[in-house]
Amino acid sequence: MARQHRTGASRGRTARIGAVSAVIGLVLAAATATAAAAGADLLPPLESAARATDPGFAGFSAARGQSFFDATHGGKWSCSSCHTRNPLQAGRHAATGRPIKPLAPAANPQRLSDPAKVDKWFRRNCRDVLERECSPAEKGDVITYLLSLQ
Amino acid sequence: MNRSKILLVGATLAAGITTPAALADQERFAMTHPTWNEECGSCHVAYPPQLLPAASWEALLGDLGNHFGSDASLDPATAAELLAYARMHASARTAAGEPTLRITRTRWFLHEHDEIGPATWQRPAIGSPANCAACHRGADSGDYSERRIKIPR
């Protein structure tokens, strides 16, 4: 009697775990899809801004974004000084040694998911690396590069 | 000790709250302000506001666009929120002259670390005295107690 009861309870628990796992799977899938879409959503306004200053603008380029990301632009640092040349990996702050989580959304779904944060960090880090703000074309290239990494 | 002090100490011991009295040993700090932890903890450990006097925080938070060679600028509302928090918890110790901007130059810091030689600070896993978490493994949660110290080789 007691054993039967335990077995029944155990079967019920297994079914519940299955259902919970399925729900968690769906939530994770939805979260991933949202994050990817959020990163891509940053591009259309940048594209409009790029076209406004350059009518011949022909679209963003992941390859150009990668070159830009790895270049020092005449200064001491590049983006990759802290984020490494493989943004799927964790980086390290070049001055303080503070660990930095991966920048590519494929490795860290929180990246590029909050437009205010993206603006904040482009503003600060472009001033650190290039001593000026980045243009919409440059930002779009870098975002396209980061979204291309899998 | 008057009655209100006894009550304060009793409440502090019971709840483990960090009041100035509990911070006399300068080892554990309550890092409970989400904006402070996030905004001040991206590029370096979010340093406890208790480690500098208010005048220092006012100078630092008033010039975030030029923060030790980096642009750490924030929107005015966030900067104001951080300054209010810093003022509330700032150290009461003050020194004459210009406010100290580096925690690592305060007399307290130098005294606490006087046994650490230059070669140790320059180890690759440490890099600089600003990298608290290299040795203080509980730094992110404000725990700088002796038992959480492990100096990397």
Tens of pLDDT, residues B103-139: 999 988 999 999 999 999 999 899 889 899 999 999 9
Cβ contact B35:B82 at 8 Å: yes
Residues of B in contact with A97 (CB under 8 A): 125-128, 131, 134
Using the beta-carbon criterion (under 8 Å), do A97 and B43 form an inter-chain contact? no
Number of domains in chain B: 1
A50/chain B closest Cα distance in angstroms: 25
Interface test with A, best of B35, B42, B74 (most A CBs within 10 A): B42
Per domain, the residue ranges of chain A are 42-148
Using the beta-carbon criterion (under 8 Å), do B43 and A98 form an inter-chain contact? yes
Closest Cβ–Cβ partner in B71, B75, B133 for A127? B71
Residue-wise pLDDT for B3-22, tens only, equals 444 444 444 444 444 444 44
Distances in Å between the Cα of A48 and the Cα atoms of A36, A43, A44, A136, B25 are 20, 9, 6, 9, 57
Residue-wise pLDDT for A88-137, tens only, equals 999 999 988 899 999 999 999 999 999 999 999 999 999 999 999 999 99
Residue B15 CB neighbours (<10 A): 10
| CATH 3.30.70.141 assigned to A42-148 | no
Q: What's the domain range around B98?
A: 24-148
- For A26, residues 6+ apart whose C-beta sits below 8 A from its C-beta are none
Whether B6 maps to a domain, the answer reads no
